[in-house]
Amino acid sequence: MATLTVPSSVPAVAEDAEQLHKAFEGWGTNEKLIISILAHRNAAQRRAIRRAYAEAYGKELLRALGDEIHGKFERTVILWTLDPAERDAVLANEEAKKWHPGGRALVEIACARTPAQLFAAKQAYHDRFKRSLEEDVAAHVTGDFRKLLVPLVSAYRYDGPEVNTSLAHSEAKILHEKIDKKAYSDEEIIRILTTRSKAQLLATFNNYKDQFGHAINKDLKADPKDEFLSTLRAIIRCFTCPDRYFEKVIRLALGGVGTDEDALTRVITTRAEVDLKLIGEAYQKRNSVPLDRAVAKDTTRDYEDILLALLGAE
């Protein structure tokens, strides 16, 4: 359920590269031309454009973009133009280096991607930063968050549909016992959340509700201001209802005193080719306002234009 719109007849890659080069020429940059091309090409097409641009003009397209555009618009264009795995590597590196308990990029990359996508992101991280994602998370994150996030980003989960129902029953009981004792960072909770497949976790969470009469996340709201509990809830929501999880991220990004452009940009650039239509539907259902209208209200100029293009707005 992507929102990305690609023309039925896409110009030749060399023509796209030439048009982008023309957008950079002269006294001013043609931002609308940049948006009309890059915001309407899929990952494979953007990759081909980058390659063609470098071959034709001897300069990496991302560097050329960075020389011509700036600020929030530049960040959005650069993140979008990157391959998904490269983009995740950049986002993970930024969060690891400036870690704070409310960060969500690492959780999203570890839990809202497929195991293969997380593996590709870690390979891209290694190639780009000459270190592993795991070692940077371990170096910059401390305490219970380190105990949780290092195995979370280290995982390579089984991605199939098979479920062990007796295991789901027993591990739901383990989770309830630990949560009831407020042992939120217990190694058993961390082991279950960081090793089990998505299908197995969904079975465990359903079993938890069946056995104890309410969803696990209700028990994890014992202290709404506790960021560790909030992170545990975010992990669970990324597995159980990613569209509602990302809707909340956008809602909070747009609903504060000022707009959280980093969160807004992260969600739109990472989900436009995945499920941004579902996220938009969840947003409208929750807020009674179309997502593109809410984004337009809180953003301006070229930044607004590229976000709306990625949202599929007419």
Binding-site annotation: residue ranges for Ca(2+)? 24, 26, 28, 68, 258, 296, 298-299, 304
Contact 244, 237 (CB under 8 A): yes
* CA distances (Å), origin 16, targets 10, 11, 33, 94, 218: 9, 7, 10, 30, 50
Does residue 291 contact residue 275 with C-beta atoms inside 8 Å?
A: no
In which residue are the tokens 């940009």 written?
265
- DSSP state, residue 4: -
Number of neighbours of residue 225 by Cβ within 10 angstroms = 6
Show binding-site residues. Answer: 24, 26, 28, 68, 258, 296, 298-299, 304
Q: Are 246 and 277 in contact (CB under 8 A)?
A: no
Q: Which residues contact 313 (CB under 8 A, 6 or more apart)?
A: 292, 296
What span, in angstroms and rounded, lies between the C-alpha atoms of 314 and 309?
8
CA-to-CA distance for 310 and 76, rounded, in angstroms?
10
DSSP string, 119-175: HHHHHHHHHHHSS-HHHHHHHH--HHHHHHHHHHHH-----SS---HHHHHHHHHHH
Which among 116, 141, 229 has a CA at the least distance from the CA of 133? Answer: 141
N-terminal to C-terminal alpha carbon distance within the chain? 17
- Cα(233)–Cα(216) distance, rounded to whole angstroms? 9
